[in-house]
Chains A and B, each alone.
Chain A
Amino acid sequence: MVMILTNTRMRMLSQWILFVLFFCSLILSVSCKINEVTSNSGSNPATADSSYTVTLSGLKNQSVYLVKMNNSQTVAAASATGSAASSVLSSDISGRTVIDYRNLDSDTIGENVSGVFKVPKGTVVRLENKKAQEALTHPPAASVIGQASSRSIQNAQSARNSSSLQATLSVGLSTRKFLVAIDANESSYVTITATLRGSSAHAQVWVASANDASGSPTASDTVTAVTAQSIADTFTKIYPVETAIFGYEYGGDPGDTAHAGGMDGEIPINILIYDVDYDTAQVSTSGSGVVGFFYDKDNLPLGTSNSNASEIFYIDSWFTVKYPGVVYSTLVHEFQHMIGYNEKYKQKTNSGEMSAWYTEMLSQVAEDMMSTDLETWLGAKYNVADDGPVNNRMQWFDYLAGYSVAGVTDWLTSSDDEKQSSYASTFAFGSYLARNYGGAPLIKAIASNDSVNDASVTAALAALGRSEVTFRDAFARYGEALIYSSSGFSDGIVPSNYNTFDRSASDTINGHVYSFSAFDIWKIPVTYKDNTTGIMSPKTYPIGVNNSIRPHGVYLQTTSAWKNKTGELVITLKKPTNPDVSLALMIRAAQ
């Protein structure tokens, strides 16, 4: 009984002590918070869980945007990304006006979207594929490759394994057999026959029998010999320009005589044109499908994983006929994958695993970098506005805020829309790096160093003498490029200390001029399906809609109350609780 009384007293005493401690901590917490808010009034940075107020004065018909950046590999939860809590607009149209954004957020779903959003005509929806594929990854170790290559030479009866045999190939006469998948799921593989229809110093273009026009086209996906030869000739022009920046495909390095010719012993690479995935009927209706691909399984010996044991990539026959300009750009894209596979995996075995975002970024940067060359070489057959990557990718970047669907270091594949957003985000970041951090020399440094992914970008910046800038630092300023462009300044000039897509870069390497053309992300031209034309700019989210932010993702917010403002705007921001998320208010001239 005594013991019980004692325990009860002790329990009551301890509860009382706990209550007092809790109460004291509560008071301390509240007073700290009040002090923070008070001390941070003005434009001072805030501490955790605090609000702070920013005064934007001297606005002259300008618009304000809240830019959120998630500088991490992890999704930032919506609740931790901060927000614009409230604001006061003064000296505006009718004297002092107080605006509570919580009452205004439903007025817009995005600043450049009014009514029904029209789907861009997008000459072609450029997917490399539509479905997740089975995992096929690295080649065996280099020693095994060597053995396998020898076996493939002995086994291949198609005379593609030595330069002496190569000389016997005859355009229009020589045929060869290739293994191809019957659908996007690679349900099974079949052997098809193709005829050599184009040949040049660096390319052999094979056209599958089912898609071979033999001189005159008879269907929507039959390819003429003239087209095949044009592809071969163009690739030979591409080859020295692209290899000077990205390196060589396996067996392509003139200094590596031990592996000359690579898997198949041939100097030219092979390009097989056929109905990729056997979906012409579907693709010709939807306009969406695989234009071309490089597949690393072809670095395996014959008889393994359906390998064609060759330096080869594949191009779709329907796209070749319908959108030849896109196909020329795709040659550049797929060739970079082929080179990257050799340079980062075979030549530098310790460089790590290439993430999809990284290799797709580099392939799209290659297209970007060579779009001026293609225009020069091909004339009317290539139109940079329709066939180049800038408009194609940036339309999607802007379209329904594709930039926020996939982060820079994401690679989302659940739907075509997700894939398009992944392409758009990686293209945008690569083109941003090239235009703001070193042009072609930077891309060359990224492609040639011993690292991959974000470490490769950091190493390349250091190699160019910018060791003070890392991938993380470069990404931290990426948001600037989404807001600042020539149309955002009254004099049409982006100050040199602002990062932007609207800046060109031009460098001469090995006597060739490599150019990245400036473009205005707020004025991306678009042709809609009804053949009307328009201009796209980044779609923004309402101030009250705070979504999660993808890894290395960006999130833009504004409201009509922040648009076309003159005078002073006072905005109260709630600081993100996620330490990797940063907020910035950026201002540009009203459209």
Chain B
Amino acid sequence: MMNRRFGIVLCVFFIPIAACALCASSCVSGGSLSVKETTEIIRGRVRIYGNEPHTYVGIETEDTSKVYAVSPKEIDIVIRQLQGHLIEFKAVMLEKPEGEESMYLKDGTVKLISWKIIE
């Protein structure tokens, strides 16, 4: 009887929860479980790096100690418009560069989730 009840509890609660947890984990990491990721709040400024015509967007932290490349690529044009502001970014810190081998700054890449202009 106990085993049957336990089985029902397992089916009704535990399995869906476990499934949700797995899905959430998969979504956060962009579908790649091989990359370890953490979400952080970064205060910094948008900077444009490199030379024309191949400039790229980065975020320099407020204390200027770190510079992160920004992903996904599609957001590049939007972020460029934020130059000249202090911004609070919510971002997933990617442990290793995303995409092509050359696409990173020395402190790595962040995947932006949201941001708000501080000043």
User: What residues make up the interface of A, taking CB atoms closer than 8 Å to B?
Assistant: 73-75, 127-140, 184, 290, 293-297, 300, 304-305, 337, 352-357, 359-360, 363, 407, 410-414, 419, 550-551
A135 adjacent to B69 (CB under 8 Å): yes
9 further A-B contacts with Cβ under 8 Å, apart from A130-B53, A136-B102, A137-B69, are A73-B84, A135-B103, A136-B54, A137-B105, A140-B101, A304-B102, A353-B49, A355-B47, A413-B80
Q: Which of A139, A305, A360 contacts B51 (CB 8 A)?
A: A360
Q: Shortest Cβ distance from A305 into chain B, in angstroms?
A: 5
* Interface range for B: 20 to 34
For A352, the chain B residues whose CB sits under 8 A away are 67
**A551 to B119 Cα, complex, angstroms:** 12
For A75, the chain B residues whose CB sits under 8 A away are 84-85
The chain A residue with its CB closest to the CB of B86 is A74
Q: Does B83 contact A (CB under 8 A)?
A: yes
B73 adjacent to A363 (CB under 8 Å): no
Q: Given A132-B76, A132-B77, A290-B53 in contact, is the A305-B48 Cβ separation under 8 Å?
A: no
The chain B residue with its CB closest to the CB of A77 is B119
Q: Which of A74, A131, A359, A412 contacts B50 (CB 8 A)?
A: A359
Q: Shortest Cβ distance from A179 into chain B, in angstroms?
A: 14
The chain B residue with its CB closest to the CB of A72 is B84
The chain B residue with its CB closest to the CB of A549 is B84
For A130, the chain B residues whose CB sits under 8 A away are 53
Interface centre among A134, A135, A412, A419 (most CB of B within 10 A): A135
B101 adjacent to A137 (CB under 8 Å): no
A293 adjacent to B52 (CB under 8 Å): yes
For B111, the chain A residues whose CB sits under 8 A away are none
**A305 to B85 Cα, complex, angstroms:** 32
Q: Shortest Cβ distance from A23 into chain B, in angstroms?
A: 32
Q: Given A75-B84, A137-B102, A414-B80 in contact, is the A132-B49 Cβ separation under 8 Å?
A: no
B102 adjacent to A296 (CB under 8 Å): yes
A128 adjacent to B52 (CB under 8 Å): yes
- Which of the 9-residue segments B13-21, B22-30, B55-63 touches chain A? B55-63
Q: Which of B49, B51, B54, B83 contacts A412 (CB 8 A)?
A: B83
B55 adjacent to A410 (CB under 8 Å): no
B54 adjacent to A304 (CB under 8 Å): no
Question: Which residues of chain B from 71 to 94 have a CB within 8 Å of any chain A CB?
Answer: 73, 76-77, 80-81, 83-86
**A51 to B51 Cα, complex, angstroms:** 43
For A363, the chain B residues whose CB sits under 8 A away are 51
Q: Which of B47, B52, B73, B119 contacts A135 (CB 8 A)?
A: B73
**A352 to B107 Cα, complex, angstroms:** 10
Q: Shortest Cβ distance from A582 into chain B, in angstroms?
A: 18
A129 adjacent to B52 (CB under 8 Å): yes
Q: Which of B52, B56, B86 contacts A419 (CB 8 A)?
A: B52
For A300, the chain B residues whose CB sits under 8 A away are 101-102
B48 adjacent to A136 (CB under 8 Å): no
B101 adjacent to A305 (CB under 8 Å): yes
A138 adjacent to B106 (CB under 8 Å): yes
For A296, the chain B residues whose CB sits under 8 A away are 50-51, 54, 102
Q: Which of A131, A304, A412 contacts B101 (CB 8 A)?
A: A304
**A304 to B100 Cα, complex, angstroms:** 8
For B104, the chain A residues whose CB sits under 8 A away are 137-138
B119 adjacent to A137 (CB under 8 Å): no
Q: Which of B51, B58, B102 contacts A353 (CB 8 A)?
A: B58
**A551 to B102 Cα, complex, angstroms:** 29
Q: Which of B67, B100, B119 contacts A74 (CB 8 A)?
A: B119
Q: Which of B48, B101, B105 contacts A356 (CB 8 A)?
A: B48
A136 adjacent to B103 (CB under 8 Å): yes
Q: Does B70 contact A (CB under 8 A)?
A: yes
Interface centre among A134, A293, A412, A551 (most CB of B within 10 A): A134
Q: Given A296-B50, A550-B84 in contact, is the A135-B76 Cβ separation under 8 Å?
A: yes
**A421 to B111 Cα, complex, angstroms:** 30
For A293, the chain B residues whose CB sits under 8 A away are 51-54
The chain B residue with its CB closest to the CB of A341 is B51
Q: Given A136-B54, A137-B104 in contact, is the A410-B76 Cβ separation under 8 Å?
A: no
B102 adjacent to A413 (CB under 8 Å): no
Please list 21 pairs of residues, one from A and one from B, whose beta carbons are closer than 8 Å in the complex, sorted by A's number: A73-B45, A74-B84, A74-B119, A127-B53, A133-B54, A133-B55, A135-B56, A136-B56, A184-B53, A296-B54, A305-B100, A352-B67, A355-B48, A360-B51, A360-B52, A363-B51, A407-B84, A412-B80, A413-B80, A414-B81, A551-B83
Q: Which of A305, A337, A357 contacts B102 (CB 8 A)?
A: A305
For B77, the chain A residues whose CB sits under 8 A away are 132
**A73 to B103 Cα, complex, angstroms:** 25
**A354 to B49 Cα, complex, angstroms:** 6
**A21 to B79 Cα, complex, angstroms:** 46
> Can you list the 9 inter-chain pairs with the closest CB atoms, starting with the nearest?
A129-B53, A135-B56, A128-B52, A75-B84, A411-B48, A356-B48, A337-B51, A353-B67, A356-B55
The chain B residue with its CB closest to the CB of A423 is B52
B84 adjacent to A411 (CB under 8 Å): no
For A407, the chain B residues whose CB sits under 8 A away are 84
Q: Which of B53, B67, B83 contacts A410 (CB 8 A)?
A: B83
B105 adjacent to A294 (CB under 8 Å): no
The chain A residue with its CB closest to the CB of B48 is A411
Q: Given A353-B58, A353-B106 in contact, is the A133-B53 Cβ separation under 8 Å?
A: yes
Q: Shortest Cβ distance from B102 into chain A, in angstroms?
A: 5
**A81 to B28 Cα, complex, angstroms:** 43
For A414, the chain B residues whose CB sits under 8 A away are 80-81
Interface centre among A75, A132, A410, A412 (most CB of B within 10 A): A132
The chain B residue with its CB closest to the CB of A349 is B106
Q: Shortest Cβ distance from A547 into chain B, in angstroms?
A: 13
B101 adjacent to A135 (CB under 8 Å): no
The chain B residue with its CB closest to the CB of A135 is B56
B102 adjacent to A410 (CB under 8 Å): no
For A139, the chain B residues whose CB sits under 8 A away are 102
For A134, the chain B residues whose CB sits under 8 A away are 56, 73, 76
B85 adjacent to A137 (CB under 8 Å): no
Q: Shortest Cβ distance from B49 into chain A, in angstroms?
A: 5
Q: Shortest Cβ distance from A68 into chain B, in angstroms?
A: 15
**A541 to B45 Cα, complex, angstroms:** 28
B55 adjacent to A132 (CB under 8 Å): yes
Q: Shortest Cβ distance from A453 into chain B, in angstroms?
A: 9
Interface centre among B60, B69, B83 (most CB of A within 10 A): B83
Q: Shortest Cβ distance from B101 into chain A, in angstroms?
A: 6
